[in-house]
Structures are given as structure tokens and as C-alpha cells.
Amino acid sequence: MDSSTPESFERALGELEQIVQRMESGSLSLEESLGAYRRGAALVAWCRKSLADVQQQVRILEADLLEPFDAAAEPCEPAEPGSPPANR
């Protein structure tokens, strides 16, 4: 089992899925199951940290600049073809 850091979140999830399938198949020895469990736990921890990092980045990018959307505040009327976009 490779204990390296995953290249991406998606690859980590894919590897986790493979580990689960192998463990559920019952084809692993006790030692292999323990190794697979350890690798899976490491991948889950890495995924959680990656998600927390991305969540923090989104908070920083938003920085309270976004306002709640209120559809009733400004009615949206379709623009006539060829007319410039309305400035707000």
C-alpha cells in the first residue's frame, strides 16, 4: 500500500473507494486489512484537512462581500435583443 500524499481530493476519494471494496470483499488477510485500514484512516484525515482548508479559503474570498439574495428587491426583466446590459 502506498502511503504517499494523494495528488488530489478526487484521487484520495477514489483510493478510499478501492480500499473499501477490497476490505468488503473479504479477500485480504488480517495484516493486509490492518494496513488498508491505516491507509484509509490517513486518507480520511487528509480529505478532512483539505476540505477545511478550502472552506477557509472560501471564507476569506467571501470576506462578507456577498449579500443575501432577495428576489423581491429588484424585479428581473429580460433585456431586449441587442440592448446593452443594465448598469446596477
Structural domain contains residue 46: yes
What CATH number should be reported for the domain holding residue 32?
1.10.287.1040
Q: What's the whole-number mean pLDDT along residues 55-82?
A: 71
Q: What's the whole-number mean pLDDT along residues 10-26?
A: 96
Please count the structural domains in the chain: 1
- Using CA of residue 38, residue 24, residue 14, residue 51, what is the dihedral sign? negative
Q: What is the pLDDT of residue 20?
A: 96
Structural domain contains residue 13: yes
Torsion of the alpha carbons at 12, 38, 41 and 6, rounded to the nearest 10: -20
Least confident of 35-39, 43-47, 72-76: 72-76
Cell numbers 432577495 label which residue? Answer: 70
Q: What is the pLDDT of residue 33?
A: 96
Q: Residue 44: give the domain boundaries.
A: 9-62
- What's the predicted TM-score (pTM) here? 0.65
Q: Which amino acid is at 26?
A: G
Q: What is the pLDDT of residue 61?
A: 81
Residue 1 has pLDDT above 50, yes or no: no
